[in-house]
Structure 1
């Protein structure tokens, strides 16, 4: 009597089914977004006097030019601002919790309005 010449594939199928279930459960967990904590930087405090044109983007994505809210027509308001068209310089201050896309929309509107110098205003990191 000779030995058995066939491979028993039943344990292989069992292992493959277990792996399939594991991957089916973990795959949706891998595709969800991951929150990234951006690093804080040390910066010198900017002189925030009234001589600088400042656009503020709040956490709820409202946009202000000075004290006036311009959320609905950012690009139009920037294009019609005489001081901005003369100086061509604008600073953007955004809340740290605002969505990245909201800040980019304001920056794109400023560029299309003719702004040549675009700066970001940050709060200095307090070091104790």
Structure 2
């Protein structure tokens, strides 16, 4: 206790109220004086046009790419070697670079990540723009 009837001994309790007051004032000062750090994010928003696009193209049939648990890759349900994927993707992009098919990737839960990484690297090297991940609940 801070107030004791025994006056012969020194008071052993520390009064922390002034310390708490000083800490709160310092906290408020640091919060007010600290500059707000903001990182600008560049977003390319579509611009308003007066006329609609002429003859919108029908999107091509999507490419279904499946990776099973053993690491085998299937291009539209036909087995394909991983080293052939980039060439096949380049051929698809070369048909019409402005209207590419969507690459729909479906991976087994037990598939190794390295196989998926190779598929994604091949898609990036082939300049594929539309890549999606599909989850089949079987």
State TM-score, norm by structure 1. Answer: 0.50
Aligned twin of 1:67 = 77
Aligned twin of 2:4 = none
Deviation at 1:98, TM superposition (A): 0.3
Contact 1:92 1:118 survives alignment (8 Å): yes
Cα pair distance change 1:56/1:83, threshold 3 Å: farther
Looking at structure 2, the residues matched to 111 and 53 of structure 1 have their Cα atoms a distance apart, in angstroms, of 15
Cα pair distance change 1:70/1:83, threshold 3 Å: farther
Count of residues in Structure 1 that have an aligned counterpart in Structure 2: 76
Looking at structure 2, the residues matched to 77 and 117 of structure 1 have their Cα atoms a distance apart, in angstroms, of 15
Contact 2:67 2:74 survives alignment (8 Å): yes
Structure 1: where are the runs of 5+ without partners? Answer: 1-49
Looking at structure 1, the residues matched to 71 and 62 of structure 2 have their Cα atoms a distance apart, in angstroms, of 21
Looking at structure 1, the residues matched to 76 and 96 of structure 2 have their Cα atoms a distance apart, in angstroms, of 12
Aligned twin of 1:77 = 88
Deviation at 1:65, TM superposition (A): 1.0
Larger Rg: 2
Contact 2:63 2:101 survives alignment (8 Å): no
User: Which structure has more helix as a fraction of its residues?
Assistant: 1
RMSD, matched Cα: 2.5
Structure 2: where are the runs of 5+ without partners? Answer: 1-59
Contact 2:61 2:101 survives alignment (8 Å): no
State TM-score, norm by structure 2. Answer: 0.47
Q: What SS does the aligned partner of 1:80 have?
A: helix
Aligned twin of 2:62 = 52
Cα pair distance change 1:83/1:98, threshold 3 Å: farther
Looking at structure 1, the residues matched to 62 and 136 of structure 2 have their Cα atoms a distance apart, in angstroms, of 16
